[in-house]
Structure 1
Amino acid sequence: MRSTLPCRLTALAPGPAATVETRLQRPDDFVDLAEFARQDKKRHVHIDIRYATCNNFIGRPVAGYKANKCLLTQAAARAAIQVIDRLSPFGLTLRFLDAYRPQRAVEDFIAWMNKPDEDEMKAAFYPDIDKRHLIRDGYLAARSSHSRGSAMDVVIAPIIGAAGQDLDFGTPYDYFGPESHPSYPALTAQQKANRLLLRTLMVQAGFRSIETEWWHFQLAEEPYPATYFDFPIE
């Protein structure tokens, strides 16, 4: 689903060269998840890549996100499909909010962090956080696991239903604060159960979670553990 929020489009200057090992070409084993998931059977997969829209903590499309596509390594895609197949009998599926992230998008995040006047999304995404400290506090990173192609941000959603009718996880996606930590205690029983369900299914499929974001998972045995890619999503 595309955001209906007002969108401030800004011309993005090329960022500085990445200080990590990067590759500019898309490897053959990177797949479009929506297409890959339907190769052998009809599966319902929801793709809502927020950084290709204005509905994100910056408030505009992020550098390198030129299409609403979920790109992943085949290994990560196969593992995610295991979760989708386990949810399907219950009328549920995964909604993918981010997957492969170009290195230029990471650099765009860092450039935005250093622009204190660009804070129109603060109330919605980081009301109690100084955005200059997002890396220090563990919410952003100069080297993102997403850029290796085997990490994803997901929620559980009904297969059929209005857009946005995801299970209740207690906070919105990309909400920066302790409320988004998977173990945050001040949640309802249902919110805790939904977080536990998502985490259990993803871990059983071979993913690792992190302690700052309930929605983030990365493949434990990823094929490119030391490589960061920078081809655009288009």
Structure 2
Amino acid sequence: MAATTAPATAHARTEPRAPVDFVALSGVDRTIIQEMRYFTPHNFVGERVDGYRRPLCVLTRPAAEALRTAQRRLLRQGYSLKVYDCYRPQRAVDHFVRWAQDLDAEDMKAEFFPDVDKSRLFDDGYIAAKSGHSRGSTVDLTLVKLPARPTRPYRPGEPLVPCYAPQEERFPDNSVDMGTGYDCFDTRSHTLDPRATGAQRANRLRLKATLESLGFVNLAEEWWHYTYKPEPYPDTYFDFPVTAGSLTGHH
């Protein structure tokens, strides 16, 4: 039996790979805008998150194809989808958990969780040890009015503005006004929060109606968070890194 141990240990060092039915969204619809926040330092952690080796949206094929259909409908209305996060490796979720347990790591508090005590992020449901994103059919996204304006890069150390401030004061994302920025740890992010004004509410509901008609289910606490149903992998939390290499060799 000893002869089998070397290949086993060699295999343990190789990265996990995606199942065959995971795809890069750009290969299904290259018109959907991608701003992969966890590949950048512009997120609540304040640094690139573990597992994001490329700014790439990876999803199960059914979820990606449903987004393509949604995009076709929205383009006719003068809008584009923009994705912030898609498949999320378990190692990225683990990074979030380590960050949440370090109560002194509050560099990004003023933008992403200005009114929430960091010690409450688990109890209040903003951070969890498992994420539906790791199953490959959940996506965080918004709407952009066409023609899309470019979004300037976030500059680490720049002054931060609360994610629920008026749109003209928040970080200049090219999204329509949804009432808060992405990943705003605040009850104002609840999809049907009554503080969303007429236009903000209409924008949220346009996104919601379009996606729900195609099988996506919204997380009521986050206007940006949608899961395609039925999920191909409802019980599996993957950990392959976000890179084209995780997908190569699939035909």
TM class by smaller structure: 0.7 to 0.9
Write out aligned runs for 1:208-223 (5 A). 208-223=217-232
Give how far 1:91 is off: 2.4
Aligned to 2:29: 37
Aligned to 1:68: 55
The percentage of aligned residue pairs carrying the same residue is: 43
2-side partners of 1:45 and 1:95: how far apart? Answer: 6
Does residue 94 of structure 1 match 2:68? no
1-side partners of 2:68 and 2:146: how far apart? Answer: 14
Q: TM (normalized to structure 2)?
A: 0.80
Aligned to 2:238: 229
5+ unaligned residues in a row in structure 1: which ranges? 1-22, 39-43
Does residue 55 of structure 1 match 2:42? yes
Indicate conservation of the 8 Å contact 2:100/2:127, yes or no.
no
Indicate conservation of the 8 Å contact 1:209/1:216, yes or no.
yes
Q: Choose from 20, 38, 56 the match for 1:28.
A: 20
Q: Over aligned residue pairs, what C-alpha RMSD do you find?
A: 1.3
Q: TM (normalized to structure 1)?
A: 0.85
Indicate conservation of the 8 Å contact 1:210/1:216, yes or no.
yes
Q: Match of 2:23, as an amino acid?
A: V
Q: Match of 1:67, as an amino acid?
A: R
Q: C-alpha offsets along residues 129-153 of structure 1, whole Å, 9 cap, x if unaligned?
A: 1223222212222110000000000
Q: C-alpha offsets along residues 50-97 of structure 1, whole Å, 9 cap, x if unaligned?
A: 000011011100000111100000010011111101001122110000
Aligned to 2:170: none
Give how far 1:211 is off: 1.6
Q: Match of 2:210, as an amino acid?
A: L
2-side partners of 1:48 and 1:88: how far apart? Answer: 18
Q: Match of 1:192, as an amino acid?
A: R
Aligned to 1:193: 202
Aligned to 1:118: 105
Equivalent residue pairs, number: 207
1-side partners of 2:213 and 2:196: how far apart? Answer: 24
1-side partners of 2:180 and 2:101: how far apart? Answer: 26
Aligned to 1:152: 139
Write out aligned runs for 1:170-185 (5 A). 170-185=179-194
Q: Match of 2:83, as an amino acid?
A: F
Aligned to 2:157: none
Give how far 1:33 is off: 0.2
2-side partners of 1:35 and 1:175: how far apart? Answer: 30
Structure with the greater alpha carbon radius of gyration:
2
Give how far 1:159 is off: 4.0
- After TM superposition, the runs of 4+ consecutive aligned structure 1 residues lying more than 4 A away are none
